[in-house]
Structure 1
């Protein structure tokens, strides 16, 4: 008889989504019994999901407790370096392999997302969808898997660079340029445009962190 009880995979996805949308932030303690009650999942799949998240470095030990991991300056720099190169490769492959329908979807996403400028939270969600669409347009499953892990780790950053003043509009203009290069089948231009986009986002985040340090 089939059981409707959520599996370990379901528990993993539920916890991961909660971290991604900010329900659980870096430093928050995750308690097995609380998670089981919150998500209506038995403790065994919750325990297995927590172990998986710890293996992926999305959770870390604080004594006997598991907390949502946080990234220090060096870890953030390493993450952005890897993301820049992988995203650039995705754009290059998208310029080579994307179907006309996929290019059209990317164009429509940019146009739709322009309405979200000024709403950093929603724009951040749209930004992730846009990047994931480029990943899929690369038509390389292994690259998609690696970028998925990178973007999950990005959730460990408590704020979005799109919250910086003026960044939303600039990012949208950058997205427009990336799509134009992909549509033109210019692999070099697409790769460079996306890599520059990630570099600017990283510099924006560095400035945000610098301001926080001054205030504190």
Structure 2
């Protein structure tokens, strides 16, 4: 969804900050969001906070409650749907990257993938998520389809990678990195079918881990 508030406005600033806090897990599912409290914390008036909360509701990140809003907690079925969409997007991006990516685009993906040791050894979950996001974003950039890239950016609001990263063990992180290596190899070999299927499987592997953790 496109932000409806102009950049630089109080509403846009509040929207961006609250969205980031929800996505990063700083504001947790079912946590209550009350305009007067948020206005005090963000040192602004209630109007831009209310407008920001309405936009977040339209994005599906919060739901209206009796008093204010609460951060939406996705059901198991909704999580599966989110990952099914993600698998389709990631698969298509990898396929197109394998078909279109030139040397420079491939080198950018490879450069980010080279940080795999940092992903394995680091206890900094924000760093792990950041490098993971950079890797996948580089594939979308390399695919050469700006519309697909834009759709993915909108859909990524519901990936909640920060919260999921908190659940991953070292071994599960290693398996995820192996998935990155397999995707990278397929793109390098210009094997579109393999790139697509590997990217999709990578997402479904992440879904399996997520659902196991949520039991």
Superposed pair shares fold, TM > 0.5: yes
**1:205 pairs with 2:210:** yes
Q: CA deviation at 1:10?
A: 2.4
Distance in 1, Cα, partners of 2:188 & 2:43: 45
Q: What does residue 132 of structure 1 align with?
A: 137
What's the offset of the Cα at 1:159? 3.1
Return the TM-score normalized by structure 1: 0.86
Shift in Å, 1:43? 2.9
Is residue 2:110 matched to residue 1:107? yes
Please, which runs of 5 or more residues in structure 2 have no aligned partner? 1-6
Tell me the secondary structure at the aligned position of residue 13 of structure 1.
Answer: helix
Structure 1 match to 2:22:
19
Q: What CA distance in whole angstroms lies between the structure 1 residues aligned with 2:9 and 2:55? A: 16
Which residue, 47, 56, 61 being the options, matches 1:58?
A: 61
Q: CA deviation at 1:156?
A: 8.4
Show CA shifts across 1:92-116 (max 9, x none).
Answer: 1112222322211111111113222
> How far apart, CA to CA, are the structure 1 residues paired with 2:138 and 2:55?
26
Instruction: State the alpha-carbon separation in 2 of the partners of residues 101 and 91 from structure 1.
Output: 16
Please, which moves more after superposition, 94-103 or 185-194? 94-103
Shift of 1:120: 6.4
Q: Does 1:39 align with 2:42?
A: yes
Deviation, structure 1 residue 86? 1.1
RMSD: 2.2
Give me the whole-angstrom Cα distance separating, in 2, the residues matched to 1:188 and 1:104.
21
Residue number among 177, 182, 203 corresponding to 1:172 in the alignment: 177
Using the TM superposition, give the Cα deviation of residue 142 of structure 1 relative to its aligned residue in structure 2, in angstroms. 1.8
Say if 1:31 and 1:113 are closer, same or farther in 2 by CA, change over 3 A. Answer: farther
Query: Partners in 2 of 1:102 and 1:161 — Cα distance?
Result: 30
Cα deviation 1:10-43 (Å, max 9, x = unaligned):
2221111111222111111112233333334443
